[in-house]
Amino acid sequence: MRKLSILLFSLLFVVSCDTEEHFISDEKQRADVHDDFIKKMNDLPEGDLFSVFSQDLSTKQREALEFLYAYMPIGDITDYSGDYYKRNVDAAFMARETMPWGKNVPEREFNHFVLPVRVNNENLDDARFVFYEELKDRVKDMSMYDAVLEVNHWCHEKANYKGSDIRTSSPLATVKTSWGRCGEESTFLVAALRSVCIPARQVYTPRWAHCDDNHAWVEAYVDGTWYFLGACEPEPVLNLGWFNAPSSRCLLLHTRVFGRYFGPEEVIEHTANHTEINVVDNYADTGKLTVKVLSHDGKPLQNVPVNFKIYNYAEFNTVATKLTDNNGLSWLTAGKGDMMVYAASDGKFDFEVVSIGDADTVTLVLDKQEGSEFLCEFDIVPPVEKARIPEVSKAMRDENDRRFRYEDSIRNAYIATFEEGRKNVYDPDLDDDESLINGIMEKSWGNYQTIKDFLDYATKKDMRGKAVSILSNISDKDLRDVTMDVLVDNLDNTVVVDTPLYEAYILNPRVSDEMIRPYKKILADEFASVAVSFKDNPQNLVAWVRDNIEIRNDLNVRNIPMYPTGVMRALTADSHSRDIFFVAVARSLGIPARIDKVTGKVQYYDNDNWIDVDFDNVATVTNTEKGTLVASYITNGLVDDPRYYTHFTIKKFNGNTFDLLSYDAKDPGMDVGALYSDILKNGLVLDPGYYVLTTGTRLFDGSVLCKMSSFTITSGKKTLIDLEMRKPSENLKVLGKFDADSKVKLLDKESIVTLADLCGKGYYVIGLLDGGSEPTTHAMQDIGVLKEDFEEWGGIMVFVFSDKKYYDSFILKDFKDLPVNVVYAFDENNLFEKVVSNMKLNDKDLPVFMIANADDEVIFVSQGYTIGLGEQLVKTIGMTGK
């Protein structure tokens, strides 16, 4: 029957070729897409996943849907209905007809950058329909260029920047919350632009070269040209954002284009889901690096993955992978800075750090293997800044600032409604902890009504305590976008088990980084007949998953998690979604299970032990005795207690590459790792195997003094290593002069004083801030993490604003945990202009941070976006000995 259906689809394709308007005009490309679609149907025979094609469709609709289904990741097919995609196709076609520029959008750009629903790894929603209704009249009389700017102003009314976890909220969830991280803001803006038929794509620097972290923004296609803009950060013109300067220091900038894309950009790779393209040439000076991969006996190796890596968060992170050709060659265009290249095959590997632009070719000889000892030191140098910033008149800037403040007021008025809605949830007769309930409600932001309704529902069923446990175990982001059906499913359908692991590993619906959907009842019913067998011996569940779930990582290249119910429906998944599915089934049956946060291993709890799941070897259950790692810290005099991710990381060899182990702080903030003293000083228990330790000292100019060393952990034994932070060879230098007689107006006293009088003798910190842009937000978060260090130092930290409007915007951000020695002031003396002139900075970017002393000597200066600013300040202060 299925073969007959596929034959009918093929016949419909042939019959429609000459009868109606086509979605794809090129006959060969249309045939290629159809072939890929038929292949996808053959790949996913279970679950009746293609029923939408049985409907009465026009040729154009059918071909557009075939295009989407041919390249969707598995979960987009299993987790969303065909009618959902049909409605999106029709909405995209309607926008093309109704928007004044729609008919001028080229076919290629429409197909790849307007029609696709997915932008990143977000949960899909009805954003296209909602946003179109809100935006169509607002932009219909504008040029395409002005419409892009206007859509971004609208986005800023709805959301601004705030950091959060790696799961990407849907566009409508971002609007509901009123904020998102850069990946969520840019997903939101792309969805908004596409809703009114403006081609748009998300651009990522997967890792900065000059500081830790990454960033995402948006490119929009206007009249034949791609322009960039910061999402929810409207500017008067395109190709302008706070990241103009940082982006010029990028090693790689990429975007993933839906389907098989053949545009003018350099292709990093074609996959079954997307085409990854490299757009770094649009932002930075670049060079081309060719990598030659040889076997240990000098023979070129074909089809070997070459990983191009950037140092970031104390590890070399893979940002691009390209296979070698039949001559053993692979290549990449990148910014002119230092990258690591790594290649491995059949357990043999090699790596090297290369300066792009200085070297054209590097040769890797795969002569290292598990157990090989190495100790390497690298001086990592990022690209030099060469910002290209368009001119903006004062009138344009003033008007943009006026609109910016008005948009802030719209968003803040919406946020103010949350407070009233969150009142009177705590019940002293039912709740033990008022602060817990109030904290849950505060973290829910615009989703407060869902949380209130759930607690009311649970109270009526006399299960309020269980409901609070569910809300306490899901993530903060879950509280902002979880739906009522998910919460009710877990309340009503989670079996009660007498174990201290119950709340975290049975009741808790969250497994990993997936969007939570109801699954407890569905999976419990599905496995009811074998539930006793699986609970008595969870290895039976392991065997069932191994035997029944086909692993197809090639159909979900980006590892976007499928819903557990989608895995059950298709009986096909990528390995990550398979792991989530296993844990979801186990918890649905009352078996404690998890994905270990450190190693990523799937585990279930049995006989007082966490048992590692091995889907390839179900017959035996073994608990291999672990070893212990103890590291002696060799200080560089700058860091008393190194922190994981910031200063060091550990990776374990998996047979070809090294996998990062994750160690978060006991009470982590954003991107905060555990301290050396908490994990390595007294011994860290690890699985036996081959590991690498990487340490790095980030210098003020963005360069890194890096050290890498290998070590082996043996069962039942203690391994001793050194953790060494390399020390800079140069002492502090005077970078310039600062006029400490400059006057500021103190916020709390409204008195005008000189900085010299305010700060007195010794060293002090000056911060010149804006109203809370993303760079300023990151700076405040970094400083807040090291609050105790700054307070222990005790020096004055003066945060200066050019006028009250910036302070008013800043204070609404509600930055918590800033040091008590921070003083707020307003500029009375054109301080920013003086600093720009004296320190030879650009006159565009805020924030600016300096460390200066009573002799007007500046020993530290940072401008614009810098992750890790707090630590850089603390390091420099420590070097003064004051």
DSSP per residue, 93-155? HHHHHHSTTGGGS-HHHHHHHTS---SSSPPP-SHHHHHHHHHHHHHTTS-HHHHHHHHHHHH
Q: Of 214-218, 671-675, 871-875, which has the strongest mean pLDDT?
A: 214-218
Least confident segment among 456-465, 469-478, 620-629, 847-856: 620-629
Distances (CA, A) of 189 to 4, 317, 465: 43, 27, 40
Helix (H/G/I), strand (E/B), else coil: 617: coil
Tell me the pLDDT tens digit for each residue of 226-248.
999 999 999 999 999 999 999 99
- Residue 615 reports pLDDT greater than 50: yes
In 10 A of CB 833, how many CB atoms?
12
The pair of structure tokens assigned to 563 is: 């819903």
- Residue 623 reports pLDDT greater than 80: no
Least confident segment among 132-136, 266-270, 435-439, 754-758: 754-758
* Cβ atoms of residues 859 and 852 within 8 Å: yes
What pLDDT is stored for residue 52 in this prediction? 98
The pair of structure tokens assigned to 44 is: 């996913």
- Residue 828 reports pLDDT greater than 90: no
Rounded Cα gap, residues 224 and 96, in angstroms: 16
Handedness of CA 645, 650, 654, 656 (dihedral sign): positive
- Residue 78 reports pLDDT greater than 90: yes
Provide mean pLDDT across the span 851-872.
88
Least confident segment among 9-23, 696-710, 798-812, 852-866: 9-23
Strand partners for 121 = none
Least confident segment among 481-485, 603-607, 868-872: 868-872
Determine the number of helices (DSSP H) and then strands (DSSP E) in the chain: 30, 36
Least confident segment among 126-140, 170-184, 520-534, 668-682: 668-682
Which of the pair, 5 or 366, is modelled with greater confidence? 366
Q: How confident is the model at residue 700 (pLDDT cuts 50, 70, 90)?
A: confident
What pLDDT is stored for residue 518 in this prediction? 98
Tell me the pLDDT tens digit for each residue of 731-740.
778 888 888 8
Q: How confident is the model at residue 671 (pLDDT cuts 50, 70, 90)?
A: low
What pLDDT is stored for residue 7 in this prediction? 52
* Cβ atoms of residues 363 and 294 within 8 Å: yes
Least confident segment among 621-625, 702-706, 707-711, 875-879: 621-625
Q: How confident is the model at residue 351 (pLDDT cuts 50, 70, 90)?
A: very high
Least confident segment among 513-522, 583-592, 597-606, 835-844: 835-844
Nearest to 701 by CA among 728, 724, 723: 728
What's the topology of domain 736-880? Answer: Glutaredoxin (3.40.30)
Q: How confident is the model at residue 865 (pLDDT cuts 50, 70, 90)?
A: confident
Provide mean pLDDT across the span 89-115.
98
- Residue 672 reports pLDDT greater than 60: yes
Burial of residue 860 (CB within 10 Å: 0-12, 13-18, 19+) is: buried
Amino acid identity at 585: V
Question: Could you tell me what percent of the chain has a pLDDT over 90?
Answer: 79
* Cβ atoms of residues 310 and 339 within 8 Å: yes
What pLDDT is stored for residue 13 in this prediction? 55
Tell me the pLDDT tens digit for each residue of 507-540.
999 999 999 999 999 999 999 999 999 999 999 9
* Cβ atoms of residues 775 and 867 within 8 Å: no
In the chain, domain spans: 2-199, 412-592, 627-724, 736-880
- Residue 157 reports pLDDT greater than 50: yes
Q: Of 418-432, 528-542, 604-618, which has the strongest mean pLDDT?
A: 528-542
Provide mean pLDDT across the span 397-425.
93
Tell me the pLDDT tens digit for each residue of 743-788.
888 987 778 998 888 888 889 999 999 888 888 988 998 899 889 9
- Domain 627-724 matching CATH 2.60.40: the answer reads yes
Q: How confident is the model at residue 429 (pLDDT cuts 50, 70, 90)?
A: confident
Q: How confident is the model at residue 9 (pLDDT cuts 50, 70, 90)?
A: low
What pLDDT is stored for residue 668 in this prediction? 47
What pLDDT is stored for residue 622 in this prediction? 65
What pLDDT is stored for residue 1 in this prediction? 46
Q: Tell me the pLDDT of the chain averaged across its residues.
A: 93
